[in-house]
Structures are given as structure tokens and as C-alpha cells.
Amino acid sequence: MTDATPASPPTPPPAAEVRSPLSDGEWHRMHPLTPLFRGGLVLVIVAGVIIANLRDRLIAIFLPWLAPGFEGESIPGDPVDYVVSHNLILVATLVVLAVVIVLVGLFYLGWRFHSFRITDDDVEVRSGVVFRSHRRAPLDRVQGVNLTRPTVARLFGLAKLEVVGAGLDANVKLEYLSTANAEAIRGDILRLASGRQLGERGEAQRRATASETVSAGITGLIAGAEAPIAEPESVVSIPVGRLVASQTLSGTTIFLVAAIAAIVTGAVTTTGWVLFAVVPAVLGFGAYWIRSITRSLRYSIAPTPSGVRITYGLLTTITEIIPPGRIHAVEVTQPLMWRPFGWWAIRINRLSGRSMSDGANDQFGTVLPVGNRADVERVLRLILPTIDQDDWPMIVDNGALGPVADDPYTTTPRRARLLRPLSWRRNGYWLGTDALFLRRGRIWRTLAVVPLARMQSLEVSQGPLDRALRVANIRAHTVIGRVSGSLGILDRDDALRLFDDGERAAIGAVATDRSHRWAGEE
């Protein structure tokens, strides 16, 4: 006989799988301060107009030493004097009050009709009062989730979340949310995109007071984006000196120096059209040069259960998580002036939901701004986790640094070396178990790695000269990005062999790939 035991309560889902309060499938509104930050430009313009019209009076009041002759007399063109002299004080007050009421009403309506919801299948956002908009991002097509914290918004503990879709202009933005809510929602979206189901809604998070929120925002402005609990540290640390030096030794700097020399020459020879044409370009490239440094400060990259987490930015901090299987091509590159220092950069092709003309696309395509060989290997192991261990020497030793003795890469034949006079021994490919490796360039070294499961197609082409020399060109097609899948001047038979072998390998890789639902059922 056994003693009866009371039924044990059901086991709650693991903490990582508990649904946050804002991911319960119901419609929720953005943070109440959202209209202020989304419509902040309007307020800045209005304030600028007011200050411009009152500048003389404001200078006389606050900086009297700059207007010594003003002792209360009227200022020509001053709107305050006009209102007082025409006894329109009441009318002006009512107009200002009406403008304030209209702005507050518009901001309220914008916030009232701006809502979102997260279901088990989609992220949806509705906005607009007169012209309504309803955007939806299927979770099984999510390419990444970016969390951006602009400088001013960070002071108030706010952030905006961008769910990266699989098409052009397919991104869904949630702006603005408290940083804690944005982190929680991002975790929910990535867990649902992985194929994992969430538990029931958990307890609502404790609301911080306004003073605590501002204090936390100021702390975050200094210390950077906060990391989730137990978040691993960055596998790469880039010294500021290396970052500045790498930018100084880049092609952008060479262009700036040449442009400045042109400006000086134009000033000496009094050629006005040179100054008119070059100065705006120099200012633009100078701003780009500085921005390239500041946006790479506080860079970090680390593995998480939901993918690779990349954080960068000095004032405006951007944290993106790239889920497994969302990287379509990788390129390791080394400019000539970086070679004495052993520095490399890593770029990727991924679906960003943005057009190629979008300036932010460049930043989203760079996963390592500058690093040494050890940094390159650490980052590559994060973003290419499926590469077979036996294939790793083909990336750095034989690929980026090659060719070496007994080179395993298939390269340009000797008879066509005039078409690649400097790089014909280096120009080549190697088909691995999980990826296609394309090695190019001797002055500007590059190695492109195209995962076979992500390759869209393979192309072989010939021109008239190619046919005469019995060579061909190959191109591995991936999503559009900064990484090129092209390789030219290969032996025709080698190119055709790669076409057949690559096709079979890609079909096999796609059949076994499960990275798009990395935590779901097989």
C-alpha cells in the first residue's frame, strides 16, 4: 500500500521561454513619448522660426553688451513690438495657445493610432490617422532584429526596434519603446523565429520612476548599450588607436588628401570653379571619415542562443542580432596599406530590408571593421558555424594568406596569365564541404566564402577572348551586397567541373539545412 501524494502543480516553462507582457498577441501602443521624438523635427523648426524672429530682442535681453544702444526702444521688424503697438496681445496669446493645442492633439492622435502586436506568426504595426498603414513581418522570414538607441532617446531610456524582413523595404519598426521592453520583445521575436513556442504571459515588469529612467539613460550614454543577463563578452576588442590608424590608411583618406591638395592649388591659382566643385565633396568625405570612426567605437561581437550579437556606435548605439542561416556570403579583405600591420576587415551579404543606396546598409554589412588574424578567426567561427573543421585551413592559411606550397586552390592557367599579370597564381577557387571559397587579388587581397546552403545559383560565362584562350568566368549568385561572388579567368574545364560539382553540393546542403528554424523540430 502506498501513501497518496497530492498532485504537484504544473511545471512553469523555462524563464527563457516565458512570454513578455507585450508579446501576448494583443494590440499595444508605443511609449507615450514616441510622438515627441518622432515629431521632434517639427518642434525644432518652430523653435528656430521663433528664435529667428526674436533674435534682436533676445540678444538685447540676455546679451546686452552686444546691443549697447537698446534700452527698451522698439526694434524694427520685431514681432513683439508689432503686437504691443497694435494692441494684439490677447489675439497673439490665443494663436499661440491654439498652435500648442493643435500640436498636442496631433501628437496624441499619432500615438493613439500607432500600435503593434506580436503573435506566434507575425509582427504587425498599424499607424496613421488619415492615411492608414498596416505592416506585417512573418516571423519565419525574420533576417535579424536591430535595437537602436539615439542619443537623446537614451536619456529617457527609450529605444527603437527594427525587425528586418526578407524583401526590399520589408522592415517593420517599433519606435519608440522603453529599452527594457525592447530587449524583452526582441528576445520573444527571435525565440519565435527559431521555431520555439513561448509560454504564457509572465508578470509585468516593474515600472521605473521618471528619475530612475533618466538616470539609467545617462549611465547608458557613458557605458554603452546594456547587455542581457549572462551575455558573453565580446570575442574581439578593437583599440581606438588601431581604428583611427586603419581609417587613416584607407582609400578615403587618400581621396581627402588629394582633394585638399586640389583645393590649395585652386586657391593659389584663383580658379574659382575648382573650389566650388571640390569643397562640398571634401566636406562630405570628411564627415564620412569621422563617422566611420565614431560608429565603430564601442564595437563588440558575441555569440548568443539566438545568433550573433553585434553592437557599435559612440552616441547612437545600434545592437543587432543576426540569427543563424541569415548570412549569405562572407568576405575577408586586406588593403595594401594594412598588410604591414596584419589587419583585415570582414564584410557580409545579408538581407537588410534596405536599398543599396541607404547609407546604413554599409554599416550593417561590416561585422569586423579592422582586426588581426586572431580576431578574424574568432569572428569567422561565429558567423560561419557550419564550416567543417577540416576546411578551416582553406580560409586563412591557404585562402586569405595564400597561395602556399602545394596550393589546393584551382587557379588561373599559365596561358592566361596576361589577363591577370599580378594575381594569376592567387586567383582561384576551392569547393569545400559546406562552402565555396573564392580567392582574388594580390595587391588588394580578398577571400569570399559562399555557404552552399545560401547560394542561389552558379553561372559560367565566356567572352570572345575567353573562348580563344579556353578560359571562363564563374559567378556564385547570392543576395545583393558588398561581397562579390565573381571569379574570372579560370580554365574552361575547371569552370565546368565547378558548375557540376557546385550544383550537386548546393542541392545536398539545402536538403540538410535547418538553420532557418534553428530551435524548431527537425
Q: Among candidates 474, 436, 242, 248, which has minimal Cα distance to 331?
A: 436
Mean pLDDT for 471-483 is 92
- Give the angle subtended at the CA of 370 by the CAs of 223 and 261, to the nearest 5°: 105
In this prediction, residue 197 carries a pLDDT of: 61
Cell numbers linked to 319 = 545592437
Q: At residue 275, does pLDDT exceed 80? A: no
pLDDT score at 156: 83
pLDDT at residue 339, rounded to an integer: 92
**How do residues 5-58 score in pLDDT, each as one tens digit?**
444 444 444 444 556 788 888 899 888 888 877 766 566 666 666 666 666 666
257: amino acid identity, one letter: V
Average pLDDT over residues 403-426: 92
What single DSSP character describes residue 19? B
Q: Which of 286, 358, 275, 366 is nearest to 320 (CA)?
A: 366
Query: DSSP string of 188-236?
Result: HHHHHHTTPPP-SB-PPPPPPPHHHHHHHHHHHHHH-SPPPTTPPPPS-
- Cα–Cα distance between 14 and 296 in angstroms, integer? 36
List, in sequence order, every beta strand (DSSP E) within 232-350.
300-304, 307-312, 317-322, 327-334, 344-350
- Computed over every residue of the chain, the mean pLDDT equals 79
Q: What is the pLDDT of residue 228?
A: 43
Residues 51-73 have a mean pLDDT of: 60
Using only the alpha carbons of the chain, give its radius of gyration. Answer: 29
Q: What is the pLDDT of residues 441-452, one digit of tens each?
A: 998 999 999 999
Taking residues 380-384, what's their average pLDDT?
92
Question: Does 3 score more than 60 pLDDT?
Answer: no
422 in helix, strand or coil? coil
Q: What is the mean pLDDT of residues 389-400?
A: 88
Dihedral sign, CA of 71, 75, 81, 86?
Answer: positive
pLDDT tops 50 at residue 188: yes
Mean pLDDT of 346-374: 76
| CA-to-CA dists, residue 256 to 242, 270, 278, 351, angstroms | 20, 20, 10, 32
Q: What percent of the chain has pLDDT over 70?
A: 71
Query: What does the pLDDT read at residue 206?
Result: 41
Greater confidence (169 vs 192) lies with: 192
Residue type, 379: V
Helix (H) or strand (E) holding 450: strand 445-451
Per-residue pLDDT at 395 exceeds 70: yes
Q: Taking a C-beta distance cutoff of 8 angstroms, is the pair 449, 500 a contact?
A: no
**Choice among 129-138, 247-256, 405-414 with the minimum mean pLDDT:** 247-256
Burial code (b: 16+ CB inside 10 Å, e: under 16) for 64-76 equals: eeeeeeeeeeebe
In angstroms, rounded to a whole number, what is the distance separating the alpha carbons of residues 329 and 483?
A: 7
**pLDDT recorded at residue 41:** 58
Tens-digit pLDDT profile for residues 216-236: 555 554 554 444 444 568 889
Q: What is the pLDDT of residue 305?
A: 83
Residue of 43 and 437 predicted with greater confidence: 437
Answer with the residue of higher pLDDT: 218 or 292.
292
pLDDT above 70 (res 161): yes
What is the structure's pLDDT at 370? 93
Q: What is the pLDDT of residue 419?
A: 92
Confidence of residue 105 (pLDDT cuts 50, 70, 90): confident
